[in-house]
A and B are shown apart, each in its own frame.
Chain A
Amino acid sequence: MLEIRTPKTGKAKRVLEKRAPKLVETGRKTLILHGTKTSATVSSVLMELYRLKKGGAIKYSRRNENIRPFESGGETSLEFFSQKTDCSIFVYGSHTKKRPDNLVLGRMYDHQVYDLIEVGIENFKSLLSFSYDKKFAPHEGTKPFICFTGEGFENVPELKHLKEVLTDLFRGEVVDNLNLTGLDRAYVCSAISPTKVFLTHCALKLKRSGTIVPRMELVEVGPSMDLVIRRNRLPNESLMKEAMRTSKDKPKKKEKNVDQDAVRGKIGKIYMPDQKLDEMHLHDKSKGRKRERKESKLLNEETDSKKNKKSSE
């Protein structure tokens, strides 16, 4: 016995529709949580990350002891949270003796863990320690510039993975129209060694230059830290293929011979094959249906009837 359950309020219906899978996706929502033990650096990193991503992030404040992203059973809680909050990228911070100041960045596909990367935090400088002219402070929710520098991001597979994850994390909403006055922040990531990435957040200063394009200047405002690559887990092949598939992947097969014209409308050409006139079939040549036969038959009947008439007379 199955029962159909539909939402009773318009609001509930809209929330469900918002969470449904879409053809073209806007940015991911972030889930920020921490594990059994966190140091001061880790908790401040998580807090500042939350502030940077205010509109599209959810921060959990309690400790989560049963989340171990790299273990096979330790992901169930994460997947449950992802489903509840509709977040598809998470930042999990923890601190242990073996892995001090640890940050695990992970992505989800269909609320299942897709890939993970673990980084350690070094040389962390908080938002509050930077002094700058408050006029240039970036506003909340603006779309940031993201800059990657260094050959490491192309050569080292872990750094390549990190680049992808950081793009997803910092990207924000995918929009069609952008207001040019709202460009005021940039994330700078530089691969200073094959295992280390220097990450910082800057405000943009647009200075007048001779051309339409203003001169850009960066002022360091936000948290800056060194990320040391520890572990990572790439997605398995089939899952990656499925996740990378977009609706526009298959190029639409061009309809041959059909043309659209503003004046004439849709036109196409009909190509006739060579007509061999002597071999063309005009009518059905099966025995009982020969036209000549029929006609002759009719004629015979007429003459017969006439003959009969004559004879009778």
Chain B
Amino acid sequence: METETETDQIYHIDVGNLLGFNPNHRFPSAPSSREELVKECLEEARKLVQAIANALFNFPSTETNDGPIVQLPPPTTKLPREKHVPRPKPPTKWEEFALKKGIQKRKKDKVVWDEQTDQFKRRHGYDRVNDDNDVPIIEAKATDEPGEDPFAKRLDEKKQRVGKQQKNRLQNLKAAEKAGALPSHVQLAATSLPISGTKSQPKKIGKDELGDVAGLAATSTASGGKFDKKLPGEKAPKKQGKHHKYLPVVAGRGAVNQEKEQTNNVLSKIISKHSHEILNVGKAINMYNVKKEKKKSGRSDKSGRSDKLKPKKDITKKPTNKAK
């Protein structure tokens, strides 16, 4: 929108953006003092604002509590968008089918008349019409096998229907994603890598397991994992092997010498009067005997075996005396 003022200058006015542009003013190239310059700028701007306001206040306004409200026209300056134009969604499989067959959408009531109980029941939700789970008796048909459970069969059928619907929904969303028109609140995320041929999902490793595996890997380094650079948040590796707790040898102030006590306890138990109750003499003898027998048999076995395996000496051959 352009407006002419008294001095016959044309301003470019965009009321939708409250924007005014005066392309004809020439600022002096040799600037006078800064204040003069500022004053001149403000004066020119004032004229522009006045021009915009002239247009604005002449629009039809409606009075409200806060003040007069005016309907702004759409802005005329062309500015680039911040996001792309929303792309049209490709029709879903059902929509294509409905279009082909000419099926119209019918609005369904939330409340439906139930014949069995003679009252109005809701269509979906608690205490709904024709609930699949509420059927008390299913009559057997001639085609039914004798051992089959019709209730379980119904449940299975429902599961299959639900699974099929989920699959179809996924296919529709994939098609929408391909066209770049995925709905804003839906995200399609890959849960597992589709490299292997098996359909089984890879086992999810927990935090502790990862830590163990990392520890195992660390022990293969030259320093046994002790001086490895740690990631932020990584804990020190757990000590592998037996845990020996060594008691302090030197007694602290007033504290009892714990190691001495420990050895004394052990000794007293063995040498005590009732030591036979603690020490199983029979078992000890048996163990000793078995060990002895093993030693004996081991030696004899060893010699016998070694004889059989050794190459047989040829007695006819006389030892030669080479060194002379």
A contacts, CB < 8 Å to B: 1-7, 13, 16-17, 19-23, 25, 28, 88-89, 107-110, 114, 123, 143-151, 153-154, 163-164, 167-168, 171, 174-183, 186, 188, 190-193, 198, 200, 202, 204, 212-218, 220, 224, 235, 240, 242-247
Complex alpha-carbon distance, A216 and B38, angstroms: 17
Binds A, one of B70-78, B279-287, B303-311: B70-78
Q: A2-B191, A25-B83, A150-B25 are in contact. Are A167 and B53 (CB under 8 A)?
A: no
- Taken together as a complex, chains A and B put the C-alpha atoms of A130 and B201 apart, in Å, by 67
B42 lies within 8 A of A218 (CB): yes
Question: Which of B26, B56, B81 contacts A25, CB < 8 Å?
Answer: B81
How far apart sit A230 and B53, CA to CA, in the bound complex (Å)?
34
In the complex with contacts A109-B82, A110-B84, A212-B18 CB distance below 8 A: no
B-side contacts of A28, CB under 8 Å? 82
- A148 to B44, alpha carbons, bound, how many Å? 9
Chain A residues positioned under 8 Å from B57 (CB to CB): 180, 212-214
Q: How large is the interface on B (under 10, 10 to 19, 20 to 34, 35 or more residues)?
A: 35 or more
Distance, CA A144 to CA B52, complexed state (A): 12
Complex Cα distance, B67 from A214, in Å, reads 15
Q: Are A192 and B27 in contact (CB under 8 A)?
A: yes
Contact A110-B45, Cβ < 8 Å, known A145-B52, A180-B56, A216-B50: no
Residues on A with C-beta less than 8 A from B188 are 2-5
> Please, how many angstroms separate the alpha-carbon atoms of A242 and B19 in the complex?
24
Residues of A within 8 A of B77 (CB): 164, 167
- Whether A181 lies near B54 (C-beta < 8 A) is no
- Interfacial chain A residues near B18, Cβ < 8 Å: 143-146, 183
Separation in Å of the B150 CB from the closest CB of chain A?
33
Secondary structure dominating the interface of A: mixed
A190 touching B19, Cβ below 8 Å = no
Q: Is there contact, CB below 8 Å, between A244 and B78?
A: yes
Choose, from B121-129, B132-140, B167-175, the stretch at the interface.
B167-175
> Quick one: given A4-B169, A177-B70, A217-B46, are A243 and B37 in contact (CB under 8 Å)?
no
* Residue in A180, A216, A220 whose beta carbon sits within 8 Å of that of B68 in the complex: A180
Q: Is B323 an interface residue (CB 8 A)?
A: no
With A148-B22, A190-B41 as contacts: A88 and B83 at CB distance below 8 Å: yes
Whether B45 lies near A212 (C-beta < 8 A) is no
Residues of chain B lying within 8 A (CB to CB) of residue A88: 82-83
With beta carbons under 8 angstroms apart, the residue of B58, B68, B83 that contacts A109 is B83
On whether A17 and B26 interact (CB within 8 A), knowing A145-B52, A220-B38, the answer reads: no
Contact residue among A3, A110, A164, A179 (Cβ-Cβ distance under 8 Å from B79) = A164
Question: What CA separation (Å) do A192 and B39 show in the bound complex?
Answer: 13
- Chain A min CB distance to B207 (Å): 22
Contact yes or no, A186 B86, CB < 8 A: no
Which residues of chain A are within 8 angstroms of B189 by Cβ–Cβ distance? Answer: 2-3, 5
Given the complex of chains A and B, what is the CA–CA distance between A180 and B64 in angstroms? 11
Q: Which residue of A lies closest to B80 (CB)?
A: A243
Q: Which of A163, A178, A198, A242 contacts B41 (CB 8 A)?
A: A198
B contacts, CB < 8 Å to A: 16-27, 29, 31, 34, 37-38, 41-42, 44-46, 48-50, 52-54, 56-58, 61, 64, 66-72, 75, 77-86, 169-170, 173-174, 184-192, 194, 201
CB pair A21 B86 closer than 8 Å: yes
Query: What's the least CB distance linking B51 to chain A, in Å?
Result: 9
Q: B residues within 8 A CB of A3?
A: 188-191
Bound CA span A168–B17, Å? 10
Apart from A2-B174, A123-B34, A240-B80, list 10 A-B contacts with CB within 8 A.
A1-B192, A3-B191, A4-B169, A4-B173, A20-B86, A146-B18, A149-B25, A181-B68, A245-B85, A246-B81
Give bound CA distance, A25 to B22, whole Å: 27
CB-CB under 8 A from A182, the residues of chain B are 66-67
The 8 Å CB contact of A179, one of B17, B50, B66, B174, is B66
List of A residues within 8 angstroms of B27 by Cβ:
150, 190-193
Smallest CB-CB separation from B42: which chain A residue?
A: A218
**Measured CA separation A214–B190 after assembly (Å):** 62
Q: Residues of A contacting B194 with CB < 8 Å?
A: 1
A182 nearest CB neighbor, chain B only: B67
Q: When A25-B81, A247-B85 are in contact, do A181 and B66 touch as well, CB less than 8 Å?
A: yes
Asked if A154 and B23 make an inter-chain contact with CB atoms under 8 angstroms apart, the answer reads yes
Pick from A149, A181, A246: contact of B22, CB under 8 Å: A149
- A110 engages B83 (CB within 8 Å): yes
Is B69 within 8 A of A179, CB to CB? yes
Known contacts A25-B82, A212-B58, A220-B42; is A149 also within 8 Å of B48 by CB? yes
Contact of A2 with B190 at beta-carbon distance under 8 Å, contacts A17-B184, A20-B184, A178-B72 already known: yes
| A178 CA / B69 CA spacing, docked (Å) | 5
Given known A-B contacts A4-B173, A4-B188, A22-B86, A198 and B38 have beta carbons under 8 A apart:
yes
Contact (Cβ within 8 A) A216 B81: no
State in angstroms the CA–CA spacing of A10 and B15 once bound together: 37
Asked whether, in the complex, the Cβ of B170 is within 8 Å of the Cβ of A6, the reply is no
Which one of B20, B21, B26, B69 lies within 8 Å of A177 (CB-CB)? B69
Task: Tell me the bound Cα distance from A51 to B170 in angstroms.
Answer: 46
How far is A212 from B57 in the complex, measured between Cα atoms in Å?
A: 7
- What's the least CB distance linking A188 to chain B, in Å? 4
A86 to B50, CA, bound (A): 35
- Is B186's CB under 8 angstroms from A181's CB? no
Report the nearest A residue to B83, measured CB to CB.
Answer: A21
Complex Cα gap A17–B86 (Å) = 12
A181-B68, A202-B42, A214-B53 as given contacts; A1 in contact with B78, CB under 8 Å: no
B residues in contact with A110, CB < 8 Å: 83-84
